[in-house]
């Protein structure tokens, strides 16, 4: 039962089992979560981000053990945390949601320095979570620039 619950939460309620683009599917799970948490403002989103990030490290580590794979693609709790970080301080408006989604996926896939470095050098679940959080920081910054000049 314990391993079942680990798999459920680490895979974003099963989104990580998507046969195509599990990271994108995991990020989609984060969208309604962001909308719900944003009802409590930035504090709600930040609280969700911290809880998911803290739980994500041991969950991702355990999934690495269960699958005998480093950073298994089906683990998407890191994408959920990265998207929440991207959206920190944003309103739950459709334009922001879409822009944040696209920006986060862009930086998560591109993995500009030091994203890939974090993924490769940090131990187990910490590396799994850290690279997506760093991609979220890049996406957050890009979203703030879009907000200032275009949105």
Q: Is residue 57 part of a domain?
A: yes
What domain range is 37 assigned to? 22-149
Cβ atoms 16, 7 nearer than 8 A: no
Q: pTM value?
A: 0.95
CA distances 26 to 46, 64, 79, 104, 121, Å, are: 19, 17, 6, 12, 23
Determine the pLDDT at residue 43: 97
Determine the pLDDT at residue 119: 75
The answer for residues whose C-beta is within 8 angstroms of residue 143's C-beta and 6 or more apart is 86, 87, 90, 96, 99, 100, 103
Q: Is residue 33 part of a domain?
A: yes
Determine the pLDDT at residue 98: 98
Q: Is residue 6 part of a domain?
A: no
Q: Is residue 132 part of a domain?
A: yes
Domain count, the chain: 1
Tokens of 141: 């910054």
Report the chain (151 residues): mean pLDDT per 10 consecutive residues. 89 93 96 98 98 96 88 92 98 97 97 84 88 97 94 67
Q: Is residue 64 part of a domain?
A: yes
Cβ atoms 42, 89 nearer than 8 A: yes
């Amino acid at each position: 039962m314990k391993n079942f619950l680990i798999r459920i939460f680490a895979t974003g309620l099963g989104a990580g089992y998507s046969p195509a683009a599990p990271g994108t599917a995991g990020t989609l799970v984060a969208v309604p979560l962001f909308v719900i948490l944003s009802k409590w403002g930035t504090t709600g989103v930040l609280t969700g981000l911290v809880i998911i990030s803290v739980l994500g490290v041991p969950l991702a580590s355990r999934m690495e053990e269960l699958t005998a794979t480093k950073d298994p693609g089906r683990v998407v709790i890191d994408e959920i945390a990265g998207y929440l970080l991207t959206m920190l301080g944003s309103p739950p408006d459709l334009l922001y949601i879409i822009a944040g989604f696209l920006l986060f996926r862009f930086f998560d896939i591109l993995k500009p320095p030091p994203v890939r470095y974090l993924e490769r050098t940090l131990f187990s679940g910490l590396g799994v979570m850290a690279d997506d959080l760093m991609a979220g920081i890049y996406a957050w910054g890009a979203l703030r620039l879009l907000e200032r000049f275009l949105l």
